[in-house]
Amino acid sequence: MRVLAVTNIYPTTRSPTLGTFVEQQVVGLKRSGLDVDVMLVDRFESGMRSYLTMGAELRRRVEQFCPDVVHAMYGGVLAERVTRIVVDRPTVVSFCGSDLLGELLSGPIRRIASECGIFASLVAARRADGVIVKSR
C-alpha cells in the first residue's frame, strides 16, 4: 500500500526536533511494509501562504506517486486543504490535540487563529474517509 503523508510539522536541517512524532509514525508505517512518501508543507519557511500555494504540489505528488491513500498528519487548515484538493482517492486525517481543542492559554490573536483551525479541522473530518485521534 502506498501512502502520501502530508504534514506541516516534520524535522528539517533547520528545525531537527520539529515534528519528530510525525517522523516516528512515518518510520513505523514503513517498518510495517507500507510505501510512504512525505510532503512537507513548510509553513515556517513560507508562512500561512504555504497553505494557499500547496495545491499544485499536492496534485503533482498524487499524480506521480499514485498513493492508495493520502494522510493529512495534522488537522487545521492543512487537513482542510488536503481533503478539499484530493477527491479521487481516500483521505485520512490525524488529529494531534490543539488542532481540535485550540490553544486556550495563548494570547488573543493566537486564540482566534486557533478557533479558525478548529473549524477547519471539523470541515476536514467531515470530508475525510477516516480520522485518527490520539489520546496520548
For the residues 38-46, what does the mean pLDDT come to?
Answer: 86
SS3 70: strand
For the residues 122-129, what does the mean pLDDT come to?
Answer: 95
Q: What is the pLDDT of residue 126?
A: 95
Q: Calculate what percentage of the chain has a pLDDT beyond 70.
A: 86
Q: Is 1 in contact with 34 (CB distance < 8 Å)?
A: yes
Helix axes 76-85, 49-65, angle to 10 degrees: 40
| Cα 56 from chain centre | 16
Q: What is the pLDDT of residue 94?
A: 92
CB-side exposure of 10: number of CA atoms within 13 Å?
19
How many Å apart are CA 68 and CA 70, to the nearest integer? 7
DSSP E strands in the chain: the ranges are 2-7, 35-40, 69-72, 91-95, 130-133
Instruction: Indicate the fold that domain 2-133 takes in CATH.
Output: Rossmann fold (3.40.50)
Examine the pLDDT at 135 and tell me if it is beyond 80. no
Read off the C-alpha cell for 93: 486525517
Read off the C-alpha cell for 128: 475525510
Assign 3-class secondary structure to 73-89: CCCHHHHHHHHHHCCCC
Q: Is 62 in contact with 70 (CB distance < 8 Å)?
A: yes
